[in-house]
């Protein structure tokens, strides 16, 4: 069963983390930490026209958290806050309820479906998507005409 969890494809994703690092001038930054295991994700975003124009992430997590962050980093440019929130919610439902994997640009999260059998790993696996959804929502509010000061 552990081989299903740590497949070669998942380990390859975890080893190749797109958009790693920090942005010099983000519109928003969010840090999320798993209290259970200490995994930590910091996400920086720039949002233009309601879409992610630039993105960086600093990830200190297990292979599962890194794999999820890898999927995020590979497909986040151009995403809206709504897309990220939907992906986060679908991802959470996949892990906690056995629902279908997210569709669309984040469908690669389907390879993390076996994590549903390891509830202690859910929080760290979800961190990057939780941080990104919050950061993009915050940045979009700050950069929209209604949210501009």
Query: What does the pLDDT average to over 98-126?
Result: 94
Task: Give the separation between CA 1 and CA 116, rounded to whole angstroms.
Answer: 12
What is the pLDDT confidence band of residue 3, given thresholds at 50, 70 and 90? low
Report the Cα–Cα distance between both ends of the chain, in Å, rounded. 53
- Per-residue pLDDT of 52-96, as tens digits, reads 999 999 999 989 999 999 999 999 999 999 999 999 999 999 999
Mean pLDDT across the chain: 91
Residue 146 has pLDDT above 70, yes or no: no
Helix (H) or strand (E) segment spanning residue 55: strand 51-60
Tokens 């059998």 belong to 117
Number of Cβ within 10 Å of residue 70's Cβ equals 25
**pLDDT given at position 137:** 94
Residue 45 scores a pLDDT above 80? yes
User: Collapsing DSSP states into helix, strand and coil, what is residue 28?
Assistant: strand
The mean-pLDDT minimum among 40-54, 57-71, 133-147 falls in 133-147
Quote the CA–CA distance of 42 and 113 in Å, as a whole number.
24
């Amino acid at each position: 069963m552990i081989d299903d969890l740590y497949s070669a494809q998942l380990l390859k994703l975890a080893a190749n983390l797109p958009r790693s690092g920090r942005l010099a001038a983000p519109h928003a930054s969010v840090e999320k930490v798993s209290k259970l295991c200490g995994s930590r994700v910091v996400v920086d975003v720039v949002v233009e026209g309601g879409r992610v124009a630039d993105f960086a992430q600093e990830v200190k997590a297990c292979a599962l958290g890194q794999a999820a962050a890898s999927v995020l980093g590979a497909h986040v440019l151009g995403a809206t806050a709504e897309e990220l929130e939907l992906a986060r919610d679908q991802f959470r439902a996949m892990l906690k309820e056995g629902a279908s994997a997210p569709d669309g640009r984040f469908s690669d999260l389907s390879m993390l479906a076996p994590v549903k059998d390891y509830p202690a790993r859910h929080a760290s696996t979800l961190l990057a998507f939780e941080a990104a959804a919050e950061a993009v929502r915050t940045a979009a509010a700050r950069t929209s005409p209604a949210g501009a000061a």
